[in-house]
Amino acid sequence: MDDISLLPPDKQAALLDGPALPPPPGRISRYENPPNENALSNFIVSLILALATIGLLIRVYSRLVCVKRVYFEDFLALGSYAIYVATNVYGVSLLCIKSAILLEWVRLFVPSGTRNAFYWLSTIGVAVNTTFYVAYIILQNLQCIPRDKIWDLTVKGKCISKYDIDIASSIINLVVDLAILVLPQQVIWKLQMSRRQRFGLSLMFAIGLVVIGVASYRLAAAITFYKSPDGLYNAPGLAFAALAEPTCVFLVFCLPTSPKVFKHIRARFRPADRSTDASPKPTRYGVETVGGTPYRKIKDDDTILLTEVTNTRNSDDGPPAGESGILRTIQFTAREEHIAGGAHN
């Protein structure tokens, strides 16, 4: 019976004191010192927490030490990490970290003031992610009336199907994760750079493939969990997937900043007696030079410039370098003046 609150008290007690189900095929119930996988469970939980923490520390180091500048999405990620460690507000954690990723994608890939397809798709992604998780958090806390029935099966009342809530959550997560993976790829492969450089950038942003795999596994584990008569036996797979997904999302947000961090750390350990010919030198115009070539310093150098490069040279600017033959003909007139005794010729 699905609702034991309809049974008389004596039958409720007998049902609760007995085994819930027979053991799975090939298993024997052991009520005294039952076997468990607590050691493996503790290892996995510790590992994914360590990965998320390392990723966050890399991000913090990049912002505070290398770039010395923070953005709104950095605060979202920091708040999400605190919630992630608590784990009992899972929906808030995913709401914050996925919104942070999409906001950063907009900042990196959309020029200021532009409202292109990338901008609107990212904005829709943030809106869908936020709207769903606000509803998810409300439903999780008000899924039963009265609320006591959420944890006390003997209380009479009505509940929303938790299966529907969790399956919808898994599907929405998968859709948003796909958007996070696909959106930057279309911009990267349009950049005017070598195929090798584009592939390297694409690979760095393709960490989201792991998230897609975990999100897909979570959806399958949720279906197995709710369809099985012995849900508790299948719960570990769903629990580990639910923990692994935000861990991977944290890595997607934090690891793209790692090249800047490692470059900064390597620079600090370089020998001090290296030649300084290539070091930046100020010029009279305030433009720094390296090896005699002027360049403008980019303050927000924690990220790679990912904007499309277009040719803006006018036809009057002269021919491009490297062409042979007669490039331009210039005519001029020379005038010579002789001064002798006040006479001018």
Average pLDDT on 42-70 reads 81
Are 21 and 231 contacting, i.e. CB atoms less than 8 angstroms apart?
A: no
Residue 196 dihedral angles phi and psi, to the nearest 5°: -65, -40
Distance from C-alpha of 111 to C-alpha of 308, rounded to nearest angstrom: 10
Check if the beta carbon of residue 308 is closer than 8 Å to that of residue 192.
Answer: yes
Residue 317 maps to a domain: no
Per-chain mean pLDDT for the chain: 73
Q: Is residue 337 part of a domain?
A: no
**329 assigned to some structural domain:** no
Mean pLDDT across 214-222: 86
Question: Do 106 and 187 contact (CB within 8 A), yes or no?
Answer: no
* 274: in domain: no
Q: Is residue 214 part of a domain?
A: yes
pTM for the whole structure:
0.55
* 343 inside domain: no
Q: How many structural domains is the chain composed of? A: 1
Has residue 257 been placed in a domain? yes
Q: Give yes or no for a contact between 172 and 132, defined as CB atoms under 8 angstroms apart.
A: yes
Q: What is the pLDDT of residue 84?
A: 66
CA 240 centroid distance within chain: 20
Q: Nearest 10 degrees: CA dihedral of 44, 49, 50, 53?
A: 170
Closest CA to 114 of 54, 164, 187: 187
Residue-number span of the structural domain to which 207 is assigned = 43-265
CA distance 279 to 295: 12
Tell me if 281 is assigned to some domain.
no
* Position with higher pLDDT, 35 vs 273: 35
Give mean pLDDT, residues 184-194. 77
CA distance linking residue 133 with residue 244, whole number of Å: 18
Tokens of 26: 């090939």
Express each pLDDT in 133-182 by its tens digit: 888 888 888 888 888 888 887 888 888 888 888 888 888 888 888 888 88
Q: Who has greater pLDDT, 199 or 83? A: 199
Q: Roughly what angle, to the nearest 10 degrees, separates helices 235-254 and 208-227?
A: 160
pLDDT reading at 278 higher than 70: no
